[in-house]
Amino acid sequence: MTDSPQHLIFAMLDVDGDGAITHAEYLARVDRVAAAVGRDAAHPVVAASHDAHDAVFRDMDADRDGRVTFEEYRTWVGHDAFERFCRRALGSLFDIADLDADGRLDRAGFVRLRTAAGNGESGVDEAFDALDADRDGLVDRDAYLSGIRDFVTTGTSPMAAAYGAGRTGLPAVT
């Protein structure tokens, strides 16, 4: 395994490290985030997030065996996949954490979201600072999603540190 964005994200999503992302592992992210921020599991934003994650999973799992291998993930991932699916799934997790629904998260909410979504705590403050460009103590939904997209597609992004990739980004993905 290298430190490419795809490897780092795959390793994060393959919670038990058995080499495949199962449907249950992927959907459990939603429940972890909801629990971490104290969101009622019956709230519509949680149901919407389950639906979004289910759609992403079905799109990733090319051979429909209920397991997404790294090869399936690597084949699937990219700019088009992000815009079509990931943006909705990751946005839905943001919405779960955005308890006052103003489209912004403060630092505490951001840390809870990132940690519960499966990222380590290292680099999370750095990522918040990088995404909070106007220093108002809040990160906008669009800035957050753009930051992740840039990391997934280019390896260089304010979000890179939050994936353990270091602040200067990564060499070209091979």
Residues engaged in binding Ca ion (CB under 5 A): 14, 16, 18, 61, 63, 65, 67, 98, 100, 102, 104
- Residue owning tokens 């490419």: 4
CB of 29 to Ca ion, least distance (A): 12
CB nearer Ca ion, residue 103 or residue 169: 103
Among 124, 77, 79, which residue's Cα sits nearest to residue 97?
Answer: 124
Least distance in Å: CB of 165 to Ca ion? 21
Alpha-carbon gap, residue 168 to 160, rounded angstroms: 8
Shorter beta-carbon distance to Ca ion: residue 137 or 166 = 137
- Rg (C-alpha) for the chain, rounded Å, is 15
C-beta of 162: minimal distance to Ca ion in Å? 19
Closer CB to Ca ion, residue 65 or residue 121? 65
User: C-beta of 26: minimal distance to Ca ion in Å?
Assistant: 9
